Amino acid sequence: MTSKMGAGNQISTATGGHHNYLHEEVSVIARTINRVCKTDELLTERLPIDPTNDDLFHGCSDGMVLIHLINHIEKDSIDMRTVNKGSNLNIYKVRENLDQSFAVAKTMIKVIGVDAQTFLDKVSYLMLGILWQLTRLLAM
């Protein structure tokens, strides 16, 4: 369950845990993705991501944004010939893209307790952890 707080959201888990994130975190990551990936032809349907709402989580759930971010960090880390492309991919093709992006992301950032299912389920606070680490690498 997600509840809105003044400057952020609080997520309550089924086990009684609580996780918070700020709207500004979502905004910074969305604006960075929009800036860095604006010329990527395969992302035209996903960009721009609205930095004022939860579009970030929906736009990143199929792995395409992750793949492009990773390739902006380290050129050709993911061979685009092996990526499933299109706007209406089935769940198996989406999972292949996410698995491929996580395999490479693990060589760049800390990925603990997060996998393809996290992005498929759009678990916002865990997605932010991965996206924040990747966007931070873009600034280096």
Q: Is residue 69 part of a domain?
A: yes
Q: Is residue 17 part of a domain?
A: no
Q: Is residue 109 part of a domain?
A: yes
Residues 6+ apart with CB under 8 A from 46: 59, 64, 65
Give the strands of the sheet with 2-4, arranged side by side. Answer: 2-4, 8-12, 18-22
- Report the SS3 class of residue 10: strand
Cβ atoms < 10 Å from Cβ of 121: 12
For position 88, what pLDDT does the model report? 85
- Report the SS3 class of residue 8: strand
Q: What's the average pLDDT block by block, 10 residues per block, for the chain (140 residues)?
A: 57 65 88 95 92 92 94 95 90 96 95 93 92 89
Host domain of residue 132? 22-138
For position 7, what pLDDT does the model report? 59
Helix (H) or strand (E) holding 99: helix 91-105
Q: By the 8 A CB rule, do 108 and 73 touch?
A: yes
Written as six digits, the tokens of 59 are 């736009």
Instruction: Please report, for the domain that includes residue 65, its CATH number.
Output: 1.10.418.10
Q: Is residue 5 part of a domain?
A: no
Q: Is residue 1 part of a domain?
A: no
Q: Is residue 15 part of a domain?
A: no
Q: Is residue 64 part of a domain?
A: yes
For position 4, what pLDDT does the model report? 59
- Count the domains in the chain: 1
Q: Is residue 78 part of a domain?
A: yes
